[in-house]
Amino acid sequence: MDRTFLPGPGSGAPDGGVETTPDLQRVGRLVIWAAVAAACAYLYFLLIPANRGTAWLWALTLLAEGLTILQALSVWWTVLAHGGHRDPVEVVAWRQRMLDGGDIPSIDVFITVAGEPLELVARTALAARDMRFPHETWVLDDGRSGDLLAFCRSEKIGYLRRPDRRDAKAGNVNAALQRTRGEFVAIFDADHVPTVDFLVEALPHLVDSRVAFVQSPQKYTNRDGLVPLGASEAQRIFYELVCPGKNHFNAAFCVGTNVIFRRSALADVGGLYSESQSEDIWTSLLMHRRGWRSVFVPKVLAHGLAPDTLRSYFKQQFRWSRGGFELLFTGKLLRGHGLSLDQRLQYLSTGTNYLLAFAMLIFQLLPAAYLLGGWSPVHASLSNWLAFYLPFSLLLLLVTYLQAGSFRISAIVMSIGSAPVHAQAALSVLLRRRASWNVTNASGAVQSIELVLPQFALLVINLLAIVVGVAALRAGDRTGTFLAIGWASLHVLILGRVVAEAFIDSSRLRRTGSAPASSLPPVLPARDLVKGESA
């Protein structure tokens, strides 16, 4: 239910804005304050010495709850900061001048390709070529495909190929920067199809010469299957709610696609940052440190493909969480120069967001600790504990629901299922290991249990806890045991769904012999902004 991001003609407000209705915002604030109060009360309850149970388990639970509350607070803080704003006057004015035939600066459009199928790249390239405002389109092909070269030649699209393949996408873009001259550079992934008005919408924001880049959201069009649904939903919340708030703090960061850079800003930081796999967010950090500004445009200006197998989703999550942890542990966010306090906290929140994985892992082990070992983090009467915990968790859920506008189970399942992957990323950063997450070889052999071993182990532990708990029901403390069995059953359901997805993927691979046919992103019809109707 896309109440805010409706691409295509005739969608709501003429500028497709993302503001929520004022009434909902007010209700949201009240509930948020209530949730903050409930969270403080629950923390206080946990900290009372009399309520402490087994010491180490209590400490772990406190850590997990603390992380959850911290992350919730940072999201609410960011979301509430968005006051809703129209495009500034200068932006509108410059856009109007350009549309009326005024001078349009030189623009290069890069499409980074690394072995994606030809029809996918062709769609993106054609859509990029056909965008409004004169520009030069370049396909940067690290996949070295002769077919793609022929296609580009026949369609009059630029084709660039570099002699080496160092530094992955960052190296690709930096190499292309040496071959081109446009004053502005737009970058798209191979699977992100821009709308025809991308440049018209995004470029005018660069009228302020301090703006280094303009970022627009990633929007996924494929929605069939647990993985794409869950991935899309998580993205929607991030781009609809969190990013507009980041704008307010000048902390909007680049996500690597659907972005337009000012070339002088890129030159100032030496090109895209190439010492990390997460070149996008590190480049943003560098630019912010150097005093540049960034703008997030909350309009859907490109359509992409969500990962549709568990493997590709985990790979993506590993990359993103590794970037977040790199920022957290090695980014010198608190000590380094050049950032405002708000910016530091915003970048920190990207890292702490992935720390939630550890909280989730702790929660998944709590019922087993109680049912198998008899350890409990809290020694209080059940009614006492519920009096503090119920309001806290219900209000937390309510706030999340109000903000997200919907309650997609697939998103919850996917975020819980990817917790071990995030944890592995944290370890790889802390232990300075190589940044890769490989479970199969290059030829893509059938993968099943390898993908989800940690989830499988957690599933078995929770199942075991249920079995032992049912046996123990005859010996005292029935309510505590019932509750723990209930939680363990929930975990079994969620983890079971994730493990099942791994097997579903592998059986699909075996049947079709290739990755499942993804729906290619649509090329949307042009939308004439001047006249406010479809062309």
Partner 1 sequence: MTLTHQDRRRVDPNSRPEGWVDDAGPPLDPDSPFTEKTAAERRKVARHGRARGRLRTLASWLTAVAIVVGAVYVGTLLTGYRLSSAKRVSLGSVILTARQIAVPAPVDGQVVSVSVRPSQTVAAGATLAVMRVFDSRGAGTATASNVTITAPVSGVVSSITTPAGSGAQRGGPVVQMYDPSSQTFQASLPTSAVSQLKRGMHVRLTSPAISGWIPAIVDHVVSPLQQNGQTVGGTTTASPTTPGGMTIVLRPRRAGYVSGLAPGLQFDAIVNTGSAPPHAPDIVRVVGS
Which residues bind to partner 1, rule: CB under 8 A?
144, 146, 149, 152-153, 158-163, 174, 177-181, 263, 266-271, 273-275, 285-286, 289-290, 330, 332, 336, 372, 439-443, 445-447, 449-450, 453, 456-457, 460-461, 463-464, 467-468, 471-472, 474-475
534: β partners: 527
Nearer to partner 1 (CB atom), residue 163 or residue 513:
163
Nearer to partner 1 (CB atom), residue 152 or residue 302:
152
Minimum distance from CB of 117 to partner 1 (Å)?
17
Nearer to partner 1 (CB atom), residue 194 or residue 271:
271
Minimum distance from CB of 41 to partner 1 (Å)?
35
Separation CA 238–CA 217 (nearest Å):
9
Task: Give the CA-trace dihedral at 404, 410, 412, 418, to 10 degrees.
Answer: -130
Nearer to partner 1 (CB atom), residue 26 or residue 166:
166
Minimum distance from CB of 287 to partner 1 (Å)?
10
Separation CA 425–CA 435 (nearest Å):
8
Minimum distance from CB of 266 to partner 1 (Å)?
7
Report the 10 Å Cβ neighbour count for 433: 11
**Burial class of 55 by CB neighbour count within 10 A (0 to 12, 13 to 18, 19+):** exposed
SS3 state of residue 136: strand
Nearer to partner 1 (CB atom), residue 183 or residue 533:
183
Nearer to partner 1 (CB atom), residue 154 or residue 383:
154
Minimum distance from CB of 328 to partner 1 (Å)?
13
Separation CA 256–CA 169 (nearest Å):
9
Residue 365 corresponds to which tokens in the numbers above? 């082990």
Q: Are 193 and 221 in contact (CB under 8 A)?
A: no
Minimum distance from CB of 109 to partner 1 (Å)?
14
Separation CA 500–CA 504 (nearest Å):
6
Amino acid at site 435: A
Q: Are 345 and 333 in contact (CB under 8 A)?
A: no
Minimum distance from CB of 506 to partner 1 (Å)?
10
Nearer to partner 1 (CB atom), residue 432 or residue 531:
432
Query: Which residues contact residue 532 at a Cβ distance below 8 angstroms, ignoring those fewer than 6 apart?
Result: 14
SS3 state of residue 514: coil
Residue 242 corresponds to which tokens in the numbers above? 């969190």
**Burial class of 147 by CB neighbour count within 10 A (0 to 12, 13 to 18, 19+):** exposed
Minimum distance from CB of 390 to partner 1 (Å)?
28
Minimum distance from CB of 163 to partner 1 (Å)?
6
Report CA torsion sign: 478, 483, 487, 493.
positive
DSSP string for residues in 261-276: EEHHHHHHTTSS--SS
Minimum distance from CB of 292 to partner 1 (Å)?
12
Minimum distance from CB of 350 to partner 1 (Å)?
16
Residue 374 corresponds to which tokens in the numbers above? 């008899």
Nearer to partner 1 (CB atom), residue 396 or residue 515:
515
Q: Are 151 and 123 in contact (CB under 8 A)?
A: no
Query: Which residues contact residue 431 at a Cβ distance below 8 angstroms, ignoring those fewer than 6 apart?
Result: none
SS3 state of residue 295: strand
Burial 191-218 (b: 16+ CB within 10 A, else e): bbbbbbbbbbbbbbbbbeeebbbbbbbb
Q: Are 295 and 214 in contact (CB under 8 A)?
A: yes
Minimum distance from CB of 161 to partner 1 (Å)?
5
Nearer to partner 1 (CB atom), residue 457 or residue 530:
457
Residues, the chain: 535
